[in-house]
Amino acid sequence: MPKIVLGYCDKVDVDLAKKIAQQWQFEYIGDVAAIKQRDDIDFLLQVDQQVLSLKKLDEPKLGGIVVDFVEGASAHRRKFGGGRGQDIAKAVGLKHGFTPSVLDATAGLGRDAFVLASLGCNVTLNERVPAVAALLENGLSRANLSTEIAPITKNMVLRHGSSIDAMTACGEHDVVYLDPMYPHREKSAAVKKEMRVFQTLVGEDLDADDLFEPAYALAKYRVVVKRPNYADFIAGKKPSMSIKMKKNRFDVYVKQAIPKG
């Protein structure tokens, strides 16, 4: 397992850094300058002005990974992504005028979950990697302070744990959404920053196929699986339909028709 430690950049962040380290059971190193005395560490979680970021220490040029639902890509997608006409909305059934409850069982950095929440869905985000779950929680906490974004993030609930083991504890949802890691064809230098970090931190989801059966049992209406276009169907199961995009597709497994709103 990669070695991860947590520290702060400024003394104003000491209390939050200690709280996060204790909650998620990370080794606390205090001031991040202490990292210079260590050669056994793979990743640094740092708190800077209340913002938690994750850095891959052997690739400093990558910069830090932050969950930000207020600015950046999430803001652009919220404003210009296409609303209920976009592919993910069609995949979960929003095109029918129905607003489903969604379990995002492989939440990652929460971007797709945020899109669905911005369209009115109540979304449960399940993330099993502690460092990623900590980033998500910090991002949600900061978003809740925004008068513009808080009405969206109030529709998002974070859970930590293996989705395979804990899925039934999440309660029934209309739709279960899966986006497990999949081996990328691109050379490592071409894979975007987050994916390169995740591949080191998480590895491949070798048990991804095991997600399908509990997801299908839990979903009331459908399971949606996001895949690269070149990827096999999850667990070898042919979907009811696929929505293809430029690089990815949504495989939709229908259990029963979604009611028309």
Instruction: Return the axis-axis angle of helices 14-24 and 130-143, rounded to nearest 10°.
Output: 140
Task: Confirm or deny that 58 is annotated as ligand binding.
Answer: no
Residue 173 CA to chain centroid, in angstroms?
Answer: 18
Q: Which two tokens stand for residue 24?
A: 């998620």
Task: Confirm or deny that 84 is annotated as ligand binding.
Answer: no
Task: Confirm or deny that 78 is annotated as ligand binding.
Answer: no
By three-state DSSP, how is residue 223 classified?
strand
Residues facing 244 on adjacent strands: 249
User: What is the sign of the dihedral through the CA atoms of 179, 180, 185 and 187?
Assistant: positive
Instruction: Return the axis-axis angle of helices 111-118 and 72-80, rounded to nearest 10°.
Output: 40
Contacts with 247 (C-beta within 8 Å, 6 or more apart), sequence order: 228, 229
Task: Confirm or deny that 74 is annotated as ligand binding.
Answer: no
Q: How far apart, in whole angstroms, are the C-alpha atoms of residue 234 and residue 11?
A: 47
The answer to whether 208 touches 232, Cβ cutoff 8 Å, is: no
Q: Which two tokens stand for residue 26?
A: 């990370």
Task: Confirm or deny that 71 is annotated as ligand binding.
Answer: no
The answer to whether 42 touches 56, Cβ cutoff 8 Å, is: yes
Q: Which helix (H) or strand (E) holds 244?
A: strand 241-244
Task: Confirm or deny that 111 is annotated as ligand binding.
Answer: yes
Which residue, 207, 246, 201, 248, is CA-closest to 225? 248
Annotated binding site for S-adenosyl-L-methionine: 111-112, 127-128, 162-163, 179
Annotated binding site: 111-112, 127-128, 162-163, 179
